[in-house]
Structure 1
């Protein structure tokens, strides 16, 4: 199959992905953040480089991880919102709220298709919970 996009070359190398995705986020306190990600989201530390202020956590999605890098001033404005699909958004939200997680308003219904709830980690990185609505 050839790429018919303008400027695409038949000889262009393709990227050989290995099935992993790490979403790297900046945090001000690695220990505090690791504790929050483990308690709030149930993630587990799989790799840690203390000399670099870096840790990687596994999620409940095969091949998808969260990387946390400690910095003095996280750059969080305008970044992506990592969205986790859940089967029970109300239960997930109650759990996060029990840990004093900050939410951006109420859970919203969008186009009668999906319910969304935006929340933030301790440094203000944006996340969303997403629950598909049965048709």
Structure 2
């Protein structure tokens, strides 16, 4: 839309039942970095390995998984990414789904059951 002047940044907002657990998981499993934490409002923001793409987490009593947007991160080798997740006992939703000549997809879950995905672009290969 004309006149919106996007700045190239993207922050996703998600729920978590424990900021401590969420921060540790996203750091150790996905390589994110904590940008800041505001305990008085039960919020933190983490930087992803993708330039200017962050996730903010709001601590809540219960997370209702399902529905909403699913953050989908591009990787260059989805089989290696799956092996890295498996090595950390990350719950996955089945095997890698392949759409021939287009994309490979892998759905997995954070500790609160929020769905995340990796994709590998096969069109560029």
| Alignment counterpart, residue 89 of structure 2, candidates 81, 93, 100 | 100
Structure 1 unaligned regions, length at least 5: 4-12
Pick the aligned partner of 1:51 from 28, 40, 45: 40
TM-score, scaled to structure 2: 0.91
Q: Which has the larger radius of gyration?
A: 1
- The answer on 1:118 being equivalent to 2:103 is no
Please report the TM-score for the alignment, with normalisation by the length of structure 1.
0.85
Deviations 1:65-88 (A, max 9, x none): 011110011233212111000001
**Counterpart residue number, 1:31:** 20
Match of 2:71 in 1: 82
Is the partner of 1:65 in helix, strand or coil? strand
RMSD in angstroms over aligned alpha carbons? 1.6
Q: How many residues align?
A: 124
In 1, distance between residues paired with 2:44 and 2:83? 27
What are the residue-to-residue correspondences of 1:55-66 with 2, within 5 Å?
Answer: 55-66=44-55
